[in-house]
Amino acid sequence: MFENFTAERIQVGEASVFVRHGGEGPPVLLLHGHPRTSATWHRVAPRLLERGFRVICPDLRGYGRSRGPAPSADHTEYSKRAVARDLVGVMRALGHDRFALAGHDRGSYVAFRLALDHPGAVSRVALMDCVPISEHLARITPDFATRWWHWFFFAQPEIPERVINADPDSWYRGDARSMGRENYDEWRAATRDPVVVRAMLEDYRAGLTVDRGHEEADRRAGRRLLCPALILWSLRDDLEVLYGDPVEIWKPWARDVRGQGIDSGHHMAEEAPEAVASCLADFFST
C-alpha cells in the first residue's frame, strides 16, 4: 500500500499531521472522510501518479495518526476552517503554494472551506458525496433525519463516546476484502482509539455549530468558489435520492461547476478507484 510514497508527520501550529506523499508533477491534495484515514486513497493515489501528478494524502486533524489540541466547548478546534489551515501549512511545508484539491464526505467540507478561505492556493477542487452543511440543514425532512440521524446523535455531549467506545468494532463496520487488508487494519486501529473517536465526533459537532455559521456568513457576504469545481456523487448512496442533481445545489456556491455520478457505494475511492482516478485526473489536467 502506497508503494514509493513517503510517510511523515508535519507540525503545523497546534496540529501534528500524518501525511503520505509521492510522485512528481502538479500537486494534488486528497482528503478522506469519516471514519476513514488517508489510507482510503490507496487505490486512487497510484493511478494519479501514473497520470503524472504528485499526490499528497494526509490524515485530517484528529483522524488516524494526526493530532490536534484538546476540544473546547465551542468546537472551534475541529472546525473545517482550523483543519483547512493545517493543510495549507502542510502543503507549504512540502513546497506547494498552489495545488489541486479533492475531498470526500467530511473531507469535502474541509476542501470546500479551504478553497473558500484560501482561493489563491487552490487551482481546482473536486467535492465528492456532499453538499454544503448549511444546505443539508435547510432541507431537513423526515427522510433526511432518518437516513442521516447520526449527525444529530454525534452532536450530543459525551453519550456518543460512551456508546461507540463500548464496542467500536460493532459500531464501525468494514470488510477487509473490499477495503484492502492494510487499509482495513489502519482504519480499525483508528476506530479503536478513544482519542480518535472523540476528535471524529468533534468534527460533527463543529459541523452543526461553527461550520454552519461560517457557511451562513459566506452566503450573506456573497462568497463563492473562484476556482472550477467538480461534483462527484455515489449513485448507490442516497445524495441524489434526497436532493436530485447535487450540481444544482452547488451552482449558487461556485462560478464554474460541473459534475457526474459514479457507479459506487459511498466509499467510492475504495469501491470504484478507476472511475474516481479517471475523473479527477481528467479534471485536474484541463
Ranges of residues in the chain with a pLDDT under 70 are none
**Ordered structural domains, the chain, with CATH:** 6-285 (3.40.50.1820)
Give one word for 230, left, alpha or beta, with left for phi > 0 and alpha for psi -120 to 50: beta
Q: Are 109 and 84 in contact (CB under 8 A)?
A: no
Residue range 101-153, pLDDT digits in tens: 999 999 999 999 999 999 999 999 999 999 999 999 999 999 999 999 999 99
Q: Are 48 and 24 in contact (CB under 8 A)?
A: no
Q: Rounded to whole angstroms, how far apart are CA atoms 131 and 233?
A: 10
pLDDT at 286: 85
Q: Rounded to whole angstroms, how far apart are CA atoms 65 and 190?
A: 8
Q: Would you call 105 a catalytic residue per the annotation?
A: yes
Q: Would you call 97 a catalytic residue per the annotation?
A: no
pLDDT at 193: 98
Catalytic pick among 117, 185, 245, 266: 266
Give the predicted TM-score (pTM) of the model.
0.98
Catalytic pick among 59, 86, 105, 203: 105
pLDDT at 113: 98
pLDDT at 192: 98
pLDDT at 52: 98
